[in-house]
Structure 1
Amino acid sequence: MLPNILRSPFVPMTLLVLIMIFLILSLSGPDSVQQGLARYSFLGFTCLLFLWISLIRLNNRKNPQNRIHSWGVIPPEFREMDEGQQWVTFKACRNVYIYYTYALPAAAIFCFVFFKWPIAPLLAIGVLGLGQYLVYWLTIRKLNHF
């Protein structure tokens, strides 16, 4: 169960959301409440990151034959153990690529329309990242019949 949790896209997606909240609140202004919320979101990000790394190390000690690399180039959700799983990863990456062909122009239009809003590019990048994780996860889930 632990490898499935560690390989799910929800942990990186949660880390992305927390860092985006931190950056948006940090850029919002000098209000003490917003700065306090920014600090708490960064603290939550840091705690979750250390927990994730600790669980990966625990998993790697228990399963040395099926290691997860926390700082590797290949994301941990890629499970290319055999040809079937490689095909599932291929289809999911293909769907993410198709998602980006529509999402990048939409993000550019969003940034162009809201150019006076200083956090518009940050929101666009955050939504693009969340969309990527959702498309990938939904495709994996559909192809693995979960």
Structure 2
Amino acid sequence: MLKNILRSPLIPMILFVLLITFLLLSLTNTLSDLTRLCFWVLVLCTFMWLIFIKLYNRQNPNNQIKPLGIIPPEFRDMDEGQQWVTYKACKNVYIYYSFALPITAGICFLFYDKILVPLICIGVLGIGQYIVYWLTTVRVLNRI
């Protein structure tokens, strides 16, 4: 159970949303208490995630998860079937970015005077990537 939670894209997506929320709130300078709260929730979630990874790695020394590895933990390339699922999901994320990046660049150019627009666009791109990857993985695995 812990392995599935730690290897799912849910935790990095939550941390990413918290980071973008913190950056957006810190740039507005209107809600300083909410900004501090968001920062401490981000720190707490990151700390808890690292503790759970350390706990999992102690229990499973042969199948460890690298918390600061270059390869994301949701890439489960243990056999050919899982490599194929990862390939399909990454292909769909690449297709998503081929449409989303030009649209995001256009939005950033249209609203260049607004400081929050690039951060919101980066947040939407990141969340969209996780959603496309997750939905493709679930859809492909349910079809098998």
Equivalent residue for 1:6? 6
Q: Distance in 1 between matches of 2:81 and 2:123?
A: 31
- Once the 2 structures are TM-superposed, how far is the Cα of residue 116 of structure 1 from its aligned partner? 1.6
Letter in 1 for 2:3: P
- 1:47 counterpart residue number: 44
Once the two structures are superposed, what CA deviation does each residue of 1:67-92 show, in whole Å capped at 9, x if it has no partner?
11110010010111101101110110
Q: 1:76 & 1:88 partners in 2: Cα distance?
A: 14
Deviations 1:25-84 (A, max 9, x none): 11013x3xx111111111001000010010011111111121111100100101111011
Give 1:143 shift. Answer: 1.2
Equivalent positions of 1:5-24 (< 5 A) are: 5-24=5-24
Structure 1 residues 25-44: aligned runs within 5 Å: 25-29=25-29, 31=30, 34-44=31-41
User: Share of identical aligned residues, percent?
Assistant: 55
Which of 102, 115, 123 is the equivalent residue of 1:126? 123
User: Partner of 2:70 in structure 1?
Assistant: 73
SS at match of 1:80: coil
Aligned length: 143
> Residue deviations 1:116-144, cap 9 Å, x none?
21111111111100000110011111111
Q: Which runs of 4+ in 1 moved over 4 A?
A: none
Unmatched 5+ residue regions in structure 1?
none
TM-score by length of 2: 0.96
Matched, 1:90 2:87: yes
State the alpha-carbon separation in 2 of the partners of residues 129 and 85 from structure 1.
23
**How far apart are 1:16 and its partner, in Å?**
0.6
Structure 2 residue ranges without an equivalent (≥5)? none
